[in-house]
Structure 1
């Protein structure tokens, strides 16, 4: 649970901000009749629900292993992150596109623009605060990696999901401001609907990115290269091992890694020596990295390992 304290802080900040913003936007949309403001209200409402789902996923993923799920429930977080992506696409983007197209076909001018501008300004402040917290946590997690590489390599979707949503929200607020202003200045109320369409497209692109990353994690990704190097270094040099052929790793959650090692033991070692070596290796790995959940060791010759790895590549 402590490992996800940063994630929870980000989600709580986003949840509180989005709930307040959604309520304000819906009141403003009903008051002024703005299509863009209605789309923004739906967007914030979806983000509020998404934050609740991510928290639910974190709680479910933290449950200990049981007989039905011997490796734990870590992938629940990945599942609910994928559900969040679907909601952003289906509800957020879908409603915004529908609202925008309807407003273009049957345009009507928004009233009381001052209310819209006040709501947009307050929303930008709240969203900006949430975005700043998410960005700070993401920067701390990414280290020296670029933002693109950090997202691709991240095993914890909760932080970058909130960051993506908040970024899309800030872009949506800017587009809503442009649309409302242009509709009033040019006396073309359909421009308000056009801005709603653009908001829907931004949400659709955000959902696509989130779904892509969540799907990869849900299927199962290997540990990062530097983690694999740490594991190899911890195993290599054991007196009972002739050669470390290689390993297979998979993330069951952000802090749950299963390691399968292929080892060639020295020919003169007894069964008892090998058993002691396996226990020693498992204890050493778990001492080095707390995120290693299970370790499996398979005695193999290097030729057998290479042959089986070649089939995986094919």
Structure 2
């Protein structure tokens, strides 16, 4: 896996700050509930990106007696907090604001201004999403975005991409709501737009939280990395059979635990030297593999093929 990069987070932070300022101004000028919901959403996104940057910094803390493998997985905690904020601050508040306006039928003024601001916001959000996609394509050039979403181990990029997709879809909903209100004079469309934005944010926040939760529980390395490590070890002349291979994603690094049957060696020292060579070559071939735990053993057939 490539080194974690905050570029996509900085793209999103710059875009969302500019968008939030524009949306708050437009919401105050027009009285649009959908626009106000979008402004809250963009403000929450700015806080989310700052949390992710803080999480990346914390994940770089060195190993110690309490955390012998380091703090790489701490970024998962902050990614989960961001997903929860997206759900409650962005989604739930937008639904509440829309329901409130739906009951009170608050009028919308100067809708053209709101539509212009929404158009500008679409351009800025597209800039942010394009930056996230560039980062995604560096590590997964041939995957669909949905497959990448399900298989990635980069929680911070997962959150940023999820936020950007939610933002663009939310802007489309808000634009349609304001336009319908302008054409019909019925403020219920604007209120319904706010509710729609909120529901959308909650759905995407749930999907993001589900993926991050899986990382917190403990996921293996990505499927392609896991298979490549398995193939690399099976090709080693020192190994006659892989009994068990476990990979564990630890932030930007990978932990590998191998149980394997070795060829016969004249002495225990010769076997230790062979194991050290296998470990060194594995880490050379896969720089993200920080820790390798290798156990030589004798395969015991139990009616199942050895695997990952």
TM-score range, shorter chain: over 0.9
**Could you tell me which residue of structure 2 aligns to residue 290 of structure 1?**
287
Deviations 1:88-135 (A, max 9, x none): 101100110000000001111111223212211221121111112112
Q: In the aligned structure 2, how far is the partner of 1:57 from the partner of 1:291? A: 19
- Could you say if the C-alpha distance between residues 124 and 288 of structure 1 is closer, same or farther in structure 2, counting changes exceeding 3 Å? same
Q: In the aligned structure 2, how far is the partner of 1:167 from the partner of 1:148? A: 12
In the alignment, is the contact (CA less than 8 A) between 2:27 and 2:33 conserved in 1?
yes
The answer as to 2:113 corresponding to 1:115 is yes
- Root mean square deviation of aligned Cα: 2.2
In the alignment, is the contact (CA less than 8 A) between 1:236 and 1:244 conserved in 2?
yes
The answer as to 2:268 corresponding to 1:271 is yes
Moved more, 132-141 or 149-158: 132-141
**Could you tell me which residue of structure 2 aligns to residue 302 of structure 1?**
299
**Could you tell me which residue of structure 2 aligns to residue 131 of structure 1?**
129
The answer as to 2:209 corresponding to 1:211 is yes
- Could you say if the C-alpha distance between residues 240 and 37 of structure 1 is closer, same or farther in structure 2, counting changes exceeding 3 Å? closer
In the alignment, is the contact (CA less than 8 A) between 2:248 and 2:256 conserved in 1?
yes
**Could you tell me which residue of structure 2 aligns to residue 3 of structure 1?**
3
Secondary structure of 1:244's counterpart equals strand
Q: In the aligned structure 1, how far is the partner of 2:270 from the partner of 2:164? A: 55
Q: Give how far 1:270 is off.
A: 2.2
In the alignment, is the contact (CA less than 8 A) between 2:244 and 2:306 conserved in 1?
no
Deviations 1:54-79 (A, max 9, x none): 11111111222222211111111111
Q: In the aligned structure 2, how far is the partner of 1:107 from the partner of 1:22? A: 25
Q: Which runs of 4+ in 1 moved over 6 A?
A: 304-310
In the alignment, is the contact (CA less than 8 A) between 2:151 and 2:223 conserved in 1?
no
Q: In the aligned structure 1, how far is the partner of 2:126 from the partner of 2:222? A: 31
Count of residues in correspondence between the two structures = 307
Match of 2:181 among 177, 183, 197: 183
- Could you say if the C-alpha distance between residues 201 and 178 of structure 1 is closer, same or farther in structure 2, counting changes exceeding 3 Å? same
Q: Give how far 1:247 is off.
A: 0.6
TM-score (norm: length of structure 2): 0.92
**Could you tell me which residue of structure 2 aligns to residue 87 of structure 1?**
85
Moved more, 61-70 or 30-39: 61-70
Q: In the aligned structure 2, how far is the partner of 1:252 from the partner of 1:111? A: 52
Moved more, 127-136 or 203-212: 127-136
Unaligned 5+ runs, structure 1: none
Q: In the aligned structure 2, how far is the partner of 1:192 from the partner of 1:115? A: 14
Unaligned 5+ runs, structure 2: none
Q: Give how far 1:200 is off.
A: 0.4
TM-score (norm: length of structure 1): 0.91
Q: In the aligned structure 1, how far is the partner of 2:102 from the partner of 2:226? A: 54
- Could you say if the C-alpha distance between residues 117 and 242 of structure 1 is closer, same or farther in structure 2, counting changes exceeding 3 Å? closer
- Could you say if the C-alpha distance between residues 47 and 98 of structure 1 is closer, same or farther in structure 2, counting changes exceeding 3 Å? same
